[in-house]
Amino acid sequence: MANILLRSVLFKGVKRDILIQGNKFAKIGEGISADDYPNAEVVDCENFAIVPAFYNGHCHAAMTLLRGYADDMPLMKWLQEYIWPFEAKMQPRDIEIGTRLAILEMIKSGTVFFSDMYWHREQTIKVVEEMGIRATIGVTIAENIDTPERIEENFRFLSGGHGSERVKIAPMPHAIYTVGEKLFRRCAETARSEGMILHTHLSETQTEVADCLKTYGCTPVELLDRWGVLGCNFVGAHCVHLSDNDMALMAKSGSTAILNLCSNLKLGSGIPQITKMMESGIRLGLGTDGASSNNNLDMHEEMKLASLLAKADGRAEALTADEAVGMATANVAQAYGFNAGVIAEGYLADALLVDLKNERLVPNHNFISNWVYAADSSSVDSVICNGRFVMRGRHIDGEEEIMLEAEKCAKRLAGKS
């Protein structure tokens, strides 16, 4: 793998040279000589700042084909009349096309990792490998949909040694209302024995919590605690409605909560108690959810929204720009077991080159404040993942074809062609 020397890039407020060797940051300093690294491509970064690339903690990538298919309606109408009938028609080839569109959008907005809970994982893995980014791909399990044979096949897949340098596999039981105790426990045991993450939807709506209290006499988080699922390898998506005890249980067990603020607002699920969750000690990361309920995969929007919503209770000093960056990068990387999300020697070389000549980054009193509160995706010039450029000068090879194919596929699935 070729080496890269980023020359004179703005890094934490000062100009630095950054050497990438293989897939890692090897050296950060002043006056690193290109002569000492004759194999390195020297990139002039005089007009760029470097920031950690985004890690998207919860997504359903192929649902990008459903972007804008149904909006502004109650949850059950949305699911039953629009989303489920559309999804029922999706074949493996459609998943591939939808995931390719999703990853195109992710790269364009600076994301190099996503956690994916969906169907036809083989196609998703293939596209991630092909497009050069990272992912944790779920083996999704839902007892209301899967046959017993399918479930056994899922566990065989989990123990089959799949995954690669950039792709990890994980059991993803859908939620406590679609997966029972026995199967959840089996997922948790498999995850631990295989050294995997376990990811599930958790306490997304008030209805979910109320139903759980009625059925089990405890909250969803308490239920997972009782079932032995919480722990350092546990990542729960949403966590909109947590009690004080829920927060304590998640924090104590080393669990992670992934907030999907835009999706939760758009579907009318509510706003999590962000500052209280931070104070509880839970590791907090951010995700976009699927594009059918967001309706994009833009982690920058989530990052700004997290900081804004944390301040909604009246404290402008809540969730600073630096903390918001951490939630959108390092916290998610750590939760999913990647030595990444931080630009420092020895870490995986994932990063964004941000265009300092973008009008939103002027004046540059404080770059991180500008990055979080003023920028949007238009300032992401180049994206590096695993020591390689996956976008340069906002161009990605084949992007027109990806969009054309996705448009055709989505029209067909919607019954319009």
φ, ψ (nearest 5 deg) of residue 337:
75, 30
Quick one: 240 or 348, whose CB is closer to its own copies?
A: 240
Question: CB of 30 within 8 A of CB of 17?
Answer: yes
Query: Considering only residues 8, 320, 389, 392, which one is a binding residue for its own copies as defined by CB under 8 A?
Result: 320
Q: How far is the CB of 362 from its own copies (least distance, A)?
A: 5
Q: For the segment 141-200, give every residue that binds its own copies (CB under 8 A).
A: none
Q: How far is the CB of 411 from its own copies (least distance, A)?
A: 7
Quick one: 183 or 310, whose CB is closer to its own copies?
A: 310
Q: How far is the CB of 211 from its own copies (least distance, A)?
A: 16
Query: Considering only residues 7, 60, 108, 174, which one is a binding residue for its own copies as defined by CB under 8 A?
Result: 108
Quick one: 181 or 407, whose CB is closer to its own copies?
A: 407
CA–CA dist 310, 337 (Å, integer)? 26
**Residue 309 binds to its own copies (criterion: CB under 8 A):** yes
Q: Which residues contact 161 (CB under 8 A, 6 or more apart)?
A: none
CA–CA dist 244, 376 (Å, integer)? 35
Q: Provide the mask over 209-248, with x wherever binding to its own copies is found by CB under 8 A and - wherever it is not.
A: ----------------------------------------
Q: For the segment 258-277, give every residue that binds its own copies (CB under 8 A).
A: 262, 265-271
Question: CB of 254 within 8 A of CB of 232?
Answer: yes
**Residue 278 binds to its own copies (criterion: CB under 8 A):** no
Quick one: 151 or 305, whose CB is closer to its own copies?
A: 305
Question: CB of 117 within 8 A of CB of 204?
Answer: no
CA–CA dist 24, 158 (Å, integer)? 28
Query: Considering only residues 364, 397, 398, 417, which one is a binding residue for its own copies as defined by CB under 8 A?
Result: 364
**Cβ atoms within 10 A of the Cβ of 133, count?**
24
Within the chain, what is the greatest distance between any pair of CA atoms?
69
**Residue 410 binds to its own copies (criterion: CB under 8 A):** yes
Query: Which residue, among 204, 150, 154, has the nearest Cα to 177 in the 3D structure?
Result: 204
Quick one: 22 or 398, whose CB is closer to its own copies?
A: 398
Query: Considering only residues 42, 79, 151, 374, which one is a binding residue for its own copies as defined by CB under 8 A?
Result: 374
Quick one: 193 or 378, whose CB is closer to its own copies?
A: 378
Residue 387 CA to chain centroid, in angstroms? Answer: 19
Residue 292 CA to chain centroid, in angstroms? Answer: 15
Query: Considering only residues 318, 342, 389, 392, which one is a binding residue for its own copies as defined by CB under 8 A?
Result: 318
CA–CA dist 255, 275 (Å, integer)? 17
Which stretches within 60-216 are classed as H helix? 75-77, 84-88, 92-108, 121-131, 148-158, 181-194, 206-216
Over 280-294, what HEC string results?
Answer: HCCEEEECCCCHHHC
**Residue 395 binds to its own copies (criterion: CB under 8 A):** no
Q: How far is the CB of 402 from its own copies (least distance, A)?
A: 8
Query: Considering only residues 315, 397, 401, 417, which one is a binding residue for its own copies as defined by CB under 8 A?
Result: 315
Q: How far is the CB of 271 from its own copies (least distance, A)?
A: 6
Q: Provide the mask over 18-47, with x wherever binding to its own copies is found by CB under 8 A and - wherever it is not.
A: ------------------------------
Q: For the segment 68-87, give every residue that binds its own copies (CB under 8 A).
A: 68-69, 71-75, 78
Question: CB of 118 within 8 A of CB of 140?
Answer: yes
Tell me the three state secondary structure of residue 315: coil
